């Protein structure tokens, strides 16, 4: 495959950049993450987010809104569910939190983890490499045969399995044995175009998509489980050591050469083809973002510079919370979660939670008599019974009677619905998905803005690519659209022309294998 040609941006070396910057800030001030969706005039249900703090220098990601929900029984009428926004504005500067996290460990909700990835794959990598990817829902194994500058990626093969529910709550040994076993089975099937040079072990890029305090390119301590995992005995341990022990138990002689998270893998994988990739974002079960940072603006490095002067920082933005526009549904879901008070951004924008937020809204509406009259389906009280892919399927239903919506609603509630109820449900889905997509877009703008502030022209003066991956982003067209719309609105039309938001399919797996290659022990 040929390496993508870099496009020269019309704004490269743009001399009037300061002017553009001022314009952009005005745009951010005047644009808002505002939407107001009357789901049904009666019962009236509105969810919206108001404009940003005007006084703050870093308005990106600033949204304000506090939703409150109440039932207002009018005499002789059904109670009406409402979500009302109070105007107590809250400023949420993602960029400021990024700086605080770069200053000192624990300086902000954003951990701003050093990846120890200071150089990118060059294209010269050759040989057979494996990648292992433990996400929140799926476990993937992949092998790739790299052929250097001319041949690039000669062949890839991968397998994917869903992580059994019980392993999410089991012991560390059980989980890592499952991973090592999957890897061993996959490695046994190696053949065809895949060849290991003699005298070498098979090397692995291990993608582990949970917050890890990286201690070197091939070691890192699990800080905490997220995305519904509560595995005992792993937090505080080196996850590579856990994997090595499990591989030993399986009699598998392979070696981890790079430990990365999925965002870092995605960035490395996308950058292999395109030098303009600066940021990578995962929107799957959970969410995270990473970006290329200058080492001289990372105070917590205490002067330790990489030879390239750059490094990839994993923001761990799922933990962002400062001033997010939370509703009663978000708060209740958080309180009932296994990690209350944590991962608040993740809980408003990622695939694990969107379906559950909608379920909670629908339950409240049903209790208010706004869905099925006086009947409140018991099934609708089951947490996580409505999944994000269900929302997506309902939003793709273009049939006259919304038959697919009816079928999913029947599955989830056991009730046959009429067209007006189906329409209302689709609007609830749209409202929650719109909020998620737009907040994710605002987060991206926060990162771009932080980078631009430190290096004028780095981002907005030329073409910049944001590599996206994850099941939510990949499969949910409305979510994608809302995300992109928010980025365009926040940056303004002109500026946003330089920012390319691109799906990087399976970039993470190949990226991890490429990082294993560029950090090879041989």
Residues binding Mg ion (CB under 5 A): 135, 262, 284
Which of 5-42 are b and which e, b meaning 16 or more Cβ less than 10 Å from the residue's Cβ?
eeeebebeebeebeebbeebbebbbebbbbbebebbee
Determine how many CB atoms are found less than 10 A away from the CB of residue 486.
23
Residue 507's binding partner out of Mg ion, ligand ADP, none, with CB under 5 to 8 Å set by partner kind: none
Residue 285's binding partner out of ligand ADP, Mg ion, none, with CB under 5 to 8 Å set by partner kind: ligand ADP
Catalog residues that contact ligand ADP under the rule CB under 6 A.
135-138, 209, 284-285, 351-352, 388-389, 392, 470-472, 475-476
Q: 52 vs 268, which CB is nearer to ligand ADP?
A: 268
Q: 64 vs 209, which CB is nearer to ligand ADP?
A: 209
Residue 351's binding partner out of ligand ADP, Mg ion, none, with CB under 5 to 8 Å set by partner kind: ligand ADP
Beta strands in 452-521 (DSSP E): 464-469, 499-503
Cα(284)–Cα(394) distance, rounded to whole angstroms? 19
Whether the Cβ atoms of residue 473 and residue 436 lie closer than 8 Å to each other:
no
Q: 350 vs 395, which CB is nearer to Mg ion?
A: 350
Residue 475's binding partner out of Mg ion, ligand ADP, none, with CB under 5 to 8 Å set by partner kind: ligand ADP
The CB-of-158 to Mg ion minimum distance in angstroms stands at: 13
Residue 107's binding partner out of ligand ADP, Mg ion, none, with CB under 5 to 8 Å set by partner kind: none
Residue 392's binding partner out of ligand ADP, Mg ion, none, with CB under 5 to 8 Å set by partner kind: ligand ADP
The CB-of-4 to ligand ADP minimum distance in angstroms stands at: 24
Planar angle of CA 412, 413, 418, nearest 5 degrees = 110
Q: 369 vs 443, which CB is nearer to Mg ion?
A: 443
Residue 389's binding partner out of ligand ADP, Mg ion, none, with CB under 5 to 8 Å set by partner kind: ligand ADP
Handedness of CA 281, 244, 240, 170 (dihedral sign): positive
DSSP-derived pairing of the beta strands 138-147 and 153-162: antiparallel
* Nearest residue to 290 (alpha-carbon basis) of 270, 315, 318: 315
The CB-of-282 to Mg ion minimum distance in angstroms stands at: 6
The CB-of-259 to ligand ADP minimum distance in angstroms stands at: 16
Please, which residues have CB within 8 angstroms of residue 358's CB and are 6 or more apart in sequence? 386, 391, 428, 429, 432
Whether the Cβ atoms of residue 368 and residue 79 lie closer than 8 Å to each other:
yes
The CB-of-226 to ligand ADP minimum distance in angstroms stands at: 11
227 in active site: yes
Phi, psi for residue 160 in degrees, rounded to 5: -135, 135
Q: In what order do the strands lie in the sheet with 153-162?
A: 153-162, 138-147, 126-134, 202-208, 254-260
Query: Of the listed 133, 238, 262, 274, which one is catalytic?
Result: 262
Q: Which residue is nearest to ligand ADP (CB)?
A: 135
Planar angle of CA 36, 41, 43, nearest 5 degrees = 105
The radius of gyration computed from the CA coordinates of the chain, to the nearest angstrom, equals 24
DSSP character string of 168-230: GGSBHHHHHHHHHHHHHHHHHT--TT--PPTT-PEEEEEEE-S-EEEEETTEEEE----TT--
- How far is residue 48 from each of residues 71, 357, 433, measured CA to CA in Å? 18, 15, 13
Q: Is 21 left (phi over 0), alpha (psi -120 to 50) or beta?
A: alpha
Q: 406 vs 509, which CB is nearer to Mg ion?
A: 509
Q: 349 vs 451, which CB is nearer to Mg ion?
A: 349
Cα(493)–Cα(266) distance, rounded to whole angstroms? 27
The CB-of-258 to ligand ADP minimum distance in angstroms stands at: 18
Q: 51 vs 205, which CB is nearer to ligand ADP?
A: 205
The CB-of-248 to Mg ion minimum distance in angstroms stands at: 26
Handedness of CA 8, 14, 19, 25 (dihedral sign): positive
Structure tokens at 263: 């965002």
Residue 254's binding partner out of ligand ADP, Mg ion, none, with CB under 5 to 8 Å set by partner kind: none
Q: 351 vs 437, which CB is nearer to ligand ADP?
A: 351
Structure tokens at 183: 């890897």
Determine how many CB atoms are found less than 10 A away from the CB of residue 474.
17
Query: Of the listed 227, 347, 450, 462, which one is catalytic?
Result: 227
The CB-of-364 to Mg ion minimum distance in angstroms stands at: 32
Q: 208 vs 482, which CB is nearer to Mg ion?
A: 208
The CB-of-446 to ligand ADP minimum distance in angstroms stands at: 22
Residue 137's binding partner out of ligand ADP, Mg ion, none, with CB under 5 to 8 Å set by partner kind: ligand ADP
Q: Which residues are catalytic?
A: 227, 262
């Amino acid at each position: 495959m040929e390496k993508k040609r870099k496009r020269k941006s019309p704004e490269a070396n743009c001399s009037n950049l300061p002017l553009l910057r001022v314009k952009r800030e005005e745009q951010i001030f005047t644009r808002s993450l505002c939407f107001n969706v009357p789901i049904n005039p009666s019962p009236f249900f509105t969810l919206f987010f108001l404009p940003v703090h005007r006084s703050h220098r870093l308005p990106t990601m600033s949204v304000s809104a506090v939703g409150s929900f109440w039932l207002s029984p009018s005499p002789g009428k059904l109670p009406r569910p409402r979500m009302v926004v109070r105007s107590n504005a809250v400023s949420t500067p993602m960029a400021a939190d990024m700086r605080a996290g770069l200053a000192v460990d624990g300086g902000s909700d954003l951990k701003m983890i050093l990846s120890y990835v200071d150089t990118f794959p060059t294209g010269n990598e050759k040989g057979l490499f494996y990648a292992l990817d433990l996400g929140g829902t799926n476990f993937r194994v992949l092998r790739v045969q790299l052929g250097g500058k001319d041949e690039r990626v000669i062949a890839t093969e991968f397998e994917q399995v869903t992580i059994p529910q019980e392993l999410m709550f089991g012991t560390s040994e059980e989980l890592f044995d499952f991973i090592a076993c999957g890897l061993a089975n996959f490695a046994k099937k190696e053949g065809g175009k895949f060849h290991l040079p003699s005298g070498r072990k098979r090397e692995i890029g291990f993608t582990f998509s949970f917050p890890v305090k990286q201690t070197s390119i091939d070691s890192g301590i699990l800080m905490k489980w997220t995305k519904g995992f509560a595995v005992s005995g792993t937090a505080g341990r080196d996850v590579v050591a856990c994997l090595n022990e499990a591989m030993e138990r399986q009699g598998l002689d392979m070696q981890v050469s790079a430990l990365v998270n999925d965002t870092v893998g995605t960035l490395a994988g996308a950058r292999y083809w395109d030098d303009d990739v600066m940021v990578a974002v995962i929107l799957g079960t959970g969410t995270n973002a990473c970006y290329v940072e200058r080492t001289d603006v990372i105070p917590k490095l205490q002067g330790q510079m990489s030879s390239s002067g750059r490094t990839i920082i994993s923001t761990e933005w799922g933990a962002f919370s400062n001033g997010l526009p939370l509703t009663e549904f978000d708060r209740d879901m958080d309180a009932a979660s296994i990690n209350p008070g944590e991962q608040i951004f993740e809980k408003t924008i990622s695939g694990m939670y969107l379906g559950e937020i909608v379920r909670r809204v629908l339950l409240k509406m049903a209790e208010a008599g706004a869905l099925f009259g006086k009947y409140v389906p018991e099934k609708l009280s089951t947490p996580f019974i409505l999944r994000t892919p269900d929302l997506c399927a309902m939003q793709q239903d273009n049939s006259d009677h919304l038959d697919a919506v009816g079928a999913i609603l029947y599955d989830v509630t056991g009730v046959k619905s009429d067209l007006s109820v189906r329409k209302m449900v689709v609007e609830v889905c749209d409202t929650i998905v719109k909020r998620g997509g737009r907040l994710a877009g605002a987060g991206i703008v926060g990162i771009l803005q932080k980078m631009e502030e430190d290096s004028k022209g780095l981002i907005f003066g030329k073409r910049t690519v944001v590599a996206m991956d994850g099941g939510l982003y990949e499969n949910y067209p409305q979510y994608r659209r809302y995300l992109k719309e928010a980025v365009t609105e926040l940056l303004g039309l002109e500026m946003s022309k330089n920012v390319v938001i691109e799906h990087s399919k399976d970039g993470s797996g190949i990226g991890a294998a490429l990082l294993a290659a560029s950090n090879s022990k041989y």
